[in-house]
Amino acid sequence: MPKDPDVVLYTDGACSGNPGPGGWAAILKHPATGTVRKLSGGHRKTTNNRMELAAAIEGLKTIDASKPHRVHLVSDSQYMIHGLTQWIEGWIANHWRRGKKAGAPPVKNAELWKELLALTQRHDMTYEHVRGHSGHPENEECDRMAVRAIEALRSKPDG
């Protein structure tokens, strides 16, 4: 982890079926004060990748954007971490397509990637991939929270 982040954001997404009902969760920790904030939610018909992105988006939305913060994002989603650190510049250069050639397929979940990019650009971001289901305490808690969000969706009548 980089030295002295203002906020450490742990995220996870889950889906029961892919697509199917999905949940996302985020834990924000403020190391200087020890403050912890937990968020979760879900969607009735979604994918795991969309829930991974939603977790980061919703977590970043809660961070005060009036000034840049040092934010360390921790996720078990290689899709999200690689997207933010390796792929996104190419997607932008290719007008949100997955290649330079005419007719290249569009980037999946482009609207979420664009929203996530805008939120990350407000802050000084660093990223860390952790192995899922490996005992990382915050990752395991985010997973439990995301699964509970799915269960909450299932317990409510469609509406």
**Tens digits of residue pLDDT in 11-49:** 999 999 999 999 999 999 999 999 999 999 999 999 999
- Would residue 12 show up in a list of annotated catalytic residues for this protein? yes
Report the CATH fold assignment for 7-78+123-155.
Nucleotidyltransferase; domain 5 (3.30.420)
- Predicted confidence at residue 2, as pLDDT, reads 67
Q: Give the predicted TM-score (pTM) of the model.
A: 0.94
Q: Select which of 133, 135, 158, 159 is catalytic.
A: 133
Confidence of residue 133 (pLDDT cuts 50, 70, 90): confident
Q: What is the pLDDT of residue 157?
A: 76
- Distance from C-alpha of 17 to C-alpha of 112, rounded to nearest angstrom: 20
The whole-chain average pLDDT of the chain stands at 95
pLDDT over 90 percentage in the chain: 87
Catalytic option among 76, 83, 123, 138? 76
Q: Cα–Cα distance between 69 and 15 in angstroms, integer?
A: 31
Q: Give the mean pLDDT of 111-138.
A: 95
Q: What is the pLDDT of residue 93?
A: 95
pLDDT of residue 109: 97
pLDDT for position 3: 72
For residue 156, the model assigns a pLDDT of 83
6 is catalytic: no
